Amino acid sequence: QRLKAAVHYTVGCLCQDVAEDKEVQFSKQTIAAISEITFRQCGTEGHFLILCRHAKRSTVTIEDVKLLARRSNSLLKYITQKSEELTSSNKEQKEKKKKKSSAAKGGRTSGEQVTVTESEDSNMA
């Protein structure tokens, strides 16, 4: 019961923020309906997490989250978009780390190393 009250309070705060930002009003019935839907949805997702636990899995992957969100096309699209953004951001960070570590080791970038190799090959001919 306390959890349900906490969800209702949080939804009310979020609705108030949106109301101020978008200059709209939310009725108490609307906030109560959103709270109830949110609480029920969390119950469904909690059940999903319990199933993962029974399957002896300790990690929930992005694919699991997408599976859970499949009922809402807009939510699934949003999660997929954010997942792709995170993936590309992680790749960029890894590439930057590789460049920094290779530059620190040899004092050269990979482009400079290729240039040196090519000039050495032409001297041998």
Do residues 26 and 15 make contact, with C-beta atoms less than 8 angstroms apart? yes
CATH class, domain 1-43, is: mainly alpha
Mean pLDDT of the chain: 79
Tell me the whole-structure pTM to 2 decimals: 0.45
pLDDT score, position 118: 42
pLDDT above 90 covers a percentage of the chain that reads: 32
Judged against a pLDDT cut of 80, whether residue 20 lies above it is answered with yes
Binning pLDDT at 50, 70 and 90, where does residue 1 land?
confident
Stretch 98-106: mean pLDDT, rounded?
A: 75
User: CA gyration radius for the chain?
Assistant: 26
Question: What are the residue ranges spanned by the domains of the chain?
Answer: 1-43, 45-91
| CATH entry 1.10.20.10 includes domain 45-91 | yes
The number of angstroms, rounded, from the C-alpha of 118 to the middle of its chain's C-alpha atoms is 43
- Note the pLDDT of residue 54: 64
Convert the pLDDT of each residue in 28-83 to its tens digit: 999 999 999 888 877 777 777 677 766 777 787 888 888 878 888 988 899 999 99
